[in-house]
Structure 1
Amino acid sequence: MLSISPNPSTTENPGSTEIPSIRDSVPVILLFIFGVFGNLAALLTLCSRSNSHEWRPFYRFVCGLAVTDGGGILISIPISEYQYLSRFKDPLSTPLCDYLAFVYMFTLMSSAMIVCCMSADRFIATYFPLLYNSPTKGRRANITLALLWVSSAILCSLHVFGLGSAKIFYPGSWCFLNFIDTDVPKNEVYTYIYAIVGVLAVIMTIILNFAVIAYFAYKTFRRKSSKSSFQGWREVHVIIFLLTIVTVLTSCWFPLMVNMLQHASKTISGEGETELLLVRLSLTNSVIDPWIYILFRREIALLAVNCTTKVYKRTKRARKPYTESAVCSRTERGTSGSVQANPLGEEQ
């Protein structure tokens, strides 16, 4: 069930036997701090604003996402951090590696699936509002979340039941499904299953979000009346919001899936720092998620726009008297050489 690489850096650092120092654990510590406290802040914000959002389906998915991301980081990163602090004197045991692989796989896959469900929620709300606003929409969201967690748990625990295996990856601080030794048929099959599901989640998220973006862009460009400017701002905000979702998910999650598919197809081989960086990048998605879905709320964005507009108008009003006085001064100097004017346009 467990595969241990005799040299964790067989491909990218051949012959290197240097043990990572405690200083190398700084990225892990930062992931833990920002991941746990960021998602905790997201949950607190959700609860404090429950009167305004009334736990609509979208916000139930946000809550599920924060619990998944924050909980996954909370119960996995400390084990990886301990390996750095102990200078890797205690290798991960087989049961611990199976557990760690499950937690990492479950956290990453569940996050991608929940983001996909959130995109589907926005798509249905936009194109099928009558169907979306049914009395059972809250219960429907809860059932969807439960099914998503169960299906993700089954998918991510297949190595425990004999399909594929878990592997300790460089530098020995984390485990994941063994997508390196794909000469073993079970590892190859499991790698393809996990990576294809992950890629499909990304593709579906992109398609659904761009469908919503196209809808709001169409409405925005068709609008000709200035009295609907606030509605136009709301639609532009939705477009920016969804573009951010697509960009972050694709940038953080997709590279790991591509790397797994490359290993499964024998395009690349071995493992080293690249896989470590890709997993950290995928976990970064769990850190960024709460800032996108909670702190990037419409209320915050609208407040920022209003503040910017007020500052701009005040600056413009402050510059206006000086501009008018300068024009007046030039006019008076042109008509009479004996008349002098100060910057306020008053005669000396």
Structure 2
Amino acid sequence: MDLGTRKNFPHSDGGILVRKYEMLPMTTMNTGDILHLNTINMTCTFNCTTPELGRNFPVLPVAMMLLFGGSGNILALIILIHTSQRHKWRAFYRLVLALALSDLLGLLGPLPVSISAYVNNMTWTGGEISCAFMSFTLIFTGMTSAMLAAAMSLDRFLAVWFPFFYTSKLGKRWASFTIAALGILALVLACMPLMGINENVHQFPGTWCFFNQFATDAGGKLFSYLYASLGMGMVGMMVVLNTLVIVVLVRRRLLKTDHGGRVKSESRRAGDVFNVVFLVVLMMVFTICWLPLMVRIIINQSAFGSVDRLSDLLVMRLALTNQILDPWIYILLRKDFVSAVVNKGNRFVNRGSFLRRKSTDEFSRSGQRRTYSATS
């Protein structure tokens, strides 16, 4: 496989050659190679160690991402299954279930591979197969999660703006069909680098793999722009649809009436509001965590800015943070949890008001007794 432009330099200790690469392709790190990525040298001889690099890029953040993200998504799945009798697996909750599964796969798939590279002194293990697997998982789950979040916004938009059409024409089947269609689309997208449209390459600092964001051929460039455009399009779709839903909520005074003017139940109005709040926070998380990766891909592929491998690493970690936060947003913003917190807060406030009234009454009575004694 072509390794790109290569220059050999004598090692300061003599005997060993230093090979500099502008791009690190999908290949194993052979012993005796020193891989240069954006002025960062990684020496890998037999039984080599890289203490300075290990300190600069510790494994602990990646391990914590796996711990909190995995536990959060598993907890979200447990809650969804436990409360299924209440939500009856309506379309919105089927989409939430698919999102939790996608986020869980997006963490359990690539992160253990990355951790194995960290604990092996920044040396890649598993060869081309593990690199292809990691890149495939990141592409597939990242785009699937973004499209599912956009589908959830579409679900609430249809339910609020076109309630009759939504309840009569769209049932639970539309959610299942949508999940399957989005999964197939993301699967095709993730398979394109495996079929020669772009390629999967090692990324700085050699602990993760993703598609080539610096492709020179037409197919590779097309894939980069397609992936970034779809990602940004999903975020834009969430922003537009959620804004339209909020407009309806405000205009109808928190949905006291539905689209036909009929009065809606208090529980149904509250459920709609909680779902929209969840989607708005989810949209903000995707905008902050997911969008920078898409922008970075456009910058790298278009050569608009300078090559910055560290920024590529940081935006990928930020994108994975999105899959960590998604389940906790659902856990903390679901109707039952928020209602319980509000009720406890109201009881605490009411208890404080009761104690203040009681102390005020006792003070008033004692003052009246003192006044009566003085006048007597």
Fold shared, TM-score > 0.5 on shorter chain? yes
Which residue in 2 is equivalent to 1:37? 71
By how many angstroms is 1:95 displaced? 3.0
Partner residue of 1:316 out of 353, 365, 372: 353
Which residue in 1 is equivalent to 2:157? 123
Letter in 2 for 1:302: S
Partner residue of 2:226 out of 188, 193, 197: 193
Structure 1 range deviating more: 183-192 or 74-83: 183-192
Partner residue of 1:63 out of 65, 85, 97: 97
Across the aligned residues of Structure 1 and Structure 2, the Cα RMSD in angstroms comes to 2.9
By how many angstroms is 1:213 displaced? 1.2
By how many angstroms is 1:291 displaced? 1.5
By how many angstroms is 1:235 displaced? 5.8
Which residue in 1 is equivalent to 2:305? 268
Map 1:174-213; keep pairs closer than 5 Å.
174-179=208-213, 181-213=214-246
Asked if the contact 1:92/1:168 (under 8 Å) is kept, the reply is no
What is the CA–CA distance in structure 1 between the aligned matches of 2:240 and 2:56, rounded to whole Å?
43
Asked if the contact 1:22/1:84 (under 8 Å) is kept, the reply is no
What is the CA–CA distance in structure 1 between the aligned matches of 2:369 and 2:111, rounded to whole Å?
74
Asked if the contact 1:217/1:239 (under 8 Å) is kept, the reply is no
Report whether the alignment pairs 1:4 with 2:38. Answer: no
Gap regions ≥5 residues in structure 1: 340-346
* Stretches of 4+ aligned residues off by more than 6 angstroms: 228-232, 328-333
Give the direction of change, closer, same or farther, for the CA distance of 1:280–1:148 in structure 2 (3 Å limit): same
What is the CA–CA distance in structure 2 between the aligned matches of 1:239 and 1:258, rounded to whole Å?
27
Partner residue of 2:253 out of 179, 201, 220: 220
Partner residue of 1:25 out of 52, 55, 59: 59
What is the CA–CA distance in structure 2 between the aligned matches of 1:259 and 1:176, rounded to whole Å?
13
Which residue in 2 is equivalent to 1:281? 318
Asked if the contact 1:9/1:170 (under 8 Å) is kept, the reply is yes
Asked if the contact 1:213/1:238 (under 8 Å) is kept, the reply is no
What is the CA–CA distance in structure 2 between the aligned matches of 1:185 and 1:282, rounded to whole Å?
26
Which residue in 1 is equivalent to 2:259? none
Structure 1 range deviating more: 238-247 or 113-122: 238-247
Give the direction of change, closer, same or farther, for the CA distance of 1:290–1:222 in structure 2 (3 Å limit): closer
* Greater fraction of residues in helix: 1
Q: Which has the higher contact order (CA 8 A, sep 6+)?
A: 1
Which residue in 1 is equivalent to 2:284? 247
What is the CA–CA distance in structure 2 between the aligned matches of 1:120 and 1:88, rounded to whole Å?
43
Structure 1 range deviating more: 116-125 or 66-75: 66-75
Cα distance per residue 1:56-84 (max 9 Å; x no partner): 11111111111111122112111100000
- Using structure 1 for the length normalisation, give the TM-score: 0.86
By how many angstroms is 1:293 displaced? 2.3
Asked if the contact 2:123/2:206 (under 8 Å) is kept, the reply is no
Report whether the alignment pairs 1:75 with 2:75. Answer: no
Other structure's SS at 2:53 match: coil
Give the direction of change, closer, same or farther, for the CA distance of 1:22–1:92 in structure 2 (3 Å limit): farther
Which residue in 2 is equivalent to 1:342? none
Give the direction of change, closer, same or farther, for the CA distance of 1:65–1:232 in structure 2 (3 Å limit): closer
By how many angstroms is 1:34 displaced? 1.3
* Greater fraction of residues in strand: 2
- Using structure 2 for the length normalisation, give the TM-score: 0.80
Asked if the contact 2:123/2:207 (under 8 Å) is kept, the reply is no
By how many angstroms is 1:141 displaced? 1.1
Letter in 2 for 1:196: S
Letter in 2 for 1:256: L
Cα distance per residue 1:87-128 (max 9 Å; x no partner): 123456233222211111111111000000111111111111
Identical positions, percent: 32
Give the direction of change, closer, same or farther, for the CA distance of 1:20–1:46 in structure 2 (3 Å limit): same
Map 1:152-171; keep pairs closer than 5 Å.
152-171=186-205
Letter in 1 for 2:58: D
Asked if the contact 1:69/1:107 (under 8 Å) is kept, the reply is yes
